[in-house]
Structure 1
């Protein structure tokens, strides 16, 4: 079975002139104007090789500079590469525009052995990230992983800041690791194998790893995880990964991610249409595992502990039922009104456990509610929690190109979670404000005065449409880049 790591594009810094590089393709950026496109920074040497006519020649080929537009031009012997590609950056490109343009080029040039890019002169970190994210292919279950557009071999950037490119590569590789986990089918990735994969990734990065099996979960009183997982022959797990933060960590951050390896809805079974997408219901877990590994690889001075509950939600004669009451880790009781609202049950156990480490911040992320997509669409995560910290997380998400929007937790919705027989119910009695009600449910399991954020990624974590920019079809790896940015922000500002 071929892994993405074995077929992943490599990045390097070019030693020498871009015009003389023995590459298959030379990439330049184009800016859109009211008239013809103009060349972006970094293309000056290439333009000189074309006697100052490169932008005009690309325009003759149809180039306008529109974001993500890719236009090819024969090298004509003016440069060593046989093909020059112009990619549109838009009018006033942001970092994410550069990231998207680099990703569009990488998708268009699949199978190319060697590429030289000048996009690093515009924004080296964004160009590096976008290239690796756009070049991603999940080939683990293909008989011939090089069929069709194979992977790009190596992309070299013009001489510049090698450290910036190396850092961006580490972040991008964390996203790719999350994508691999998300895209692995549920007959291959279930709680036991998911936990084993998390252990493998964690130990390779030097993390402390702890795995609780179903016996340990039962003995420990993890009623939410055990309740959701009891209907499957593949028993649940709880994985804990810890990065120490080095010799002098600034703060402690707890990360929690939902790890439902497949969600049928249980007894409250889902419709058949689109149920195959529920292989992605562990995207939050994949993100926090990959982020914790990245923290170690980047040697961030922040202590990070990931607490990851893993379960498969199946209907069977042992499955939990609507009407059951579960005793959660920590002692609160929850009446189950809908077994398809299972994510919040396993997360509640994990959040209480995470808070026992006395972190300074807690961030939980999950594909929690279809209501997130109704409210915000498929590309914008909903962020809830402590207002100041919530806004901080949302702003960082937008800054790295993972769109996020702060959402409220209205007090008037809390009484709708009251239960006749337990401390609270797992859903309200109506369909309005479902994303917010789920956040309010989770708030019941957050330690007092602990700054926290809930990141609902039901839409952004899995792309069911066509690829765009650096975003492939399938698992996206959202919100890994947001979480890494948060850890770096905590390291810098506390």
Structure 2
């Protein structure tokens, strides 16, 4: 699907636009948007509203053909809610989602969107929202089916009508939006792949391809190198599997040579059986999504590389499987992390923090400006926040508050929202061990918080935040699949930093 910007100057009229379909908005009080009024030279659109053929409620649509006096073959009316100077963002988001689905069933191969501005949002937001809606409408997860599902979209070209004065900004927003959509697609594709294909080696291969395509630096560390680095915590998780662990480092050095990098750390458990602390069988197939952090970091790196972002960004991904076997780590084992801190493993199903803690120690060598780790870490975060917000954890001081606010703002910009959760010394009491420096679990109470407190012990030398995406990285049930989150949050966070 090709996207473009169509600039409209003050003298332009929409009735001269030659296209398979032009999309315009209408309101609940039977009023036309400015673009709809411009098209309605013979009163057919106003007549349709007056007759009640479309209510104007958000997301309602009406297709008109052979509208007199215009060059477009079709006019698609979409409801935008109550009339106002600008449209509510929720109404706009719903409108473009419905438009994308509706157009998929029409014969028009090219479309022009001429929708009004959005309240408290800029043109870039509107373009990004529309691009993601259209790309989501054509995303398919049937790559491994012997018989592919028939394509339901005839739309090949989508143009956004914007004022001439906003043309340059709109074109830049479109470039970023398409890069973001491509990054999300990569994240969804990786997440949806079965664990017998998407192994740690496969993730490493994906990183290498990104490095080649976007001229990034890449380094893949294997077991012997990890042993030399004394990553005993990470390696303990991989003890029970025949799949070799991989430690992936991918570098996009788009900023100044001396600028400290922003580091993204992604949890890459390509399948999580729970290890000896075996998970229940029901729903265990969804544990292929336990590499959602790694997938989102790789998707973000693709977006960053494609838009040639002028920022130094390093991705670090510890990747392995967590499987039960005679060689698997046992509950009660004590391991030594790369930092030298010892960990009593009370539950082998709390493995994500065991691989992340060594990665968080490793990144000290980069002297980072900030580190954000991303992980499908705890079911407790799903219980706390559901599937709407990712959990955001960080320390409380000026530097960490600033980082938290940057991430929260990026989430609000994109609708890929996060909610700040506490990290307090009181929770560390739950991680005490009689035999090691700490236990790897702190009991069921505040499980997402104690997991974050565990990670925080390995991040004292830099500014750090943790995103728990267990509730947002994938959907269960009939809509089962990877969501592509939090690529929008992470990418926008980096774009804002570069700016």
Paired with 2:240 and 2:18, the residues of 1 have a C-alpha distance of: 58
> Contact 1:246–1:299 (CA<8 Å) still a contact in 2?
no
Q: Residue 470 of structure 1 corresponds to which residue in structure 2?
A: none
Q: Does 1:105 align with 2:119?
A: no
Tell me which moved more, 180-189 or 71-80.
Answer: 71-80
CA change 1:60–1:455 in 2 (3 A) is farther
Q: Residue 491 of structure 1 corresponds to which residue in structure 2?
A: 498
Deviations 1:81-116 (A, max 9, x none): 554333334446445653443233223433656241
Q: Does 1:11 align with 2:14?
A: no
Tell me which moved more, 302-311 or 265-274.
Answer: 265-274
Paired with 1:251 and 1:121, the residues of 2 have a C-alpha distance of: 41
SS of alignment partner, residue 306 of structure 1: strand
Tell me which moved more, 221-230 or 365-374.
Answer: 221-230
Q: Residue 154 of structure 1 corresponds to which residue in structure 2?
A: 157
Aligned mate of 1:458, from 433, 455, 470: 470
Query: How far off is 1:30 after superposition?
Result: 3.6
Aligned mate of 1:413, from 415, 420, 427: 427
Alignment of 1:338-353 (within 5 A): 338-353=347-362
Query: How far off is 1:187 after superposition?
Result: 1.5
Paired with 1:206 and 1:90, the residues of 2 have a C-alpha distance of: 46
Alignment of 1:223-262 (within 5 A): 223-247=232-256, 251-262=260-271
SS of alignment partner, residue 172 of structure 2: helix
Unaligned runs of 5+ in 2: 118-125
Alignment of 1:123-162 (within 5 A): 123-147=126-150, 149-150=152-153, 152-158=155-161, 160=167, 161-162=170-171
Alignment of 1:258-269 (within 5 A): 258-269=267-278
CA change 1:360–1:96 in 2 (3 A) is farther
Q: Residue 432 of structure 1 corresponds to which residue in structure 2?
A: 445
SS of alignment partner, residue 271 of structure 1: coil
CA change 1:196–1:59 in 2 (3 A) is farther
State the TM-score, normalizing by the size of structure 2: 0.87
> Contact 1:99–1:131 (CA<8 Å) still a contact in 2?
no
Q: Residue 445 of structure 1 corresponds to which residue in structure 2?
A: 458
Deviations 1:412-459 (A, max 9, x none): 11011011111111101x3111111111011011033x2211111111
Alignment of 1:63-462 (within 5 A): 63-67=54-58, 69-78=59-68, 79-91=70-82, 93-95=87-89, 97-110=91-104, 114-119=109-114, 122=117, 123-147=126-150, 149-150=152-153, 152-158=155-161, 160=167, 161-247=170-256, 251-387=260-396, 388=401, 389-428=403-442, 430-448=443-461, 450-462=462-474
State the TM-score, normalizing by the size of structure 1: 0.87
Query: How far off is 1:461 after superposition?
Result: 1.0
Q: Residue 6 of structure 1 corresponds to which residue in structure 2?
A: none
> Contact 1:95–1:126 (CA<8 Å) still a contact in 2?
no
Count, aligned residues: 471
Unaligned runs of 5+ in 1: 1-8, 468-472
Paired with 1:21 and 1:412, the residues of 2 have a C-alpha distance of: 64
Tell me which moved more, 86-95 or 351-360.
Answer: 86-95
> Contact 1:221–1:329 (CA<8 Å) still a contact in 2?
yes
Query: How far off is 1:295 after superposition?
Result: 2.0
Q: Does 1:28 align with 2:24?
A: yes
Paired with 2:114 and 2:348, the residues of 1 have a C-alpha distance of: 49
User: RMSD across aligned C-alpha pairs, in angstroms?
Assistant: 2.6
Deviations 1:363-406 (A, max 9, x none): 01111111111111111111011340223312321221112111
> Contact 1:250–1:301 (CA<8 Å) still a contact in 2?
no
Paired with 2:110 and 2:2, the residues of 1 have a C-alpha distance of: 10
Deviations 1:143-164 (A, max 9, x none): 3445252574332223643232
> Contact 1:414–1:440 (CA<8 Å) still a contact in 2?
yes
- Give 1 or 2 for the bigger CA radius of gyration: 2
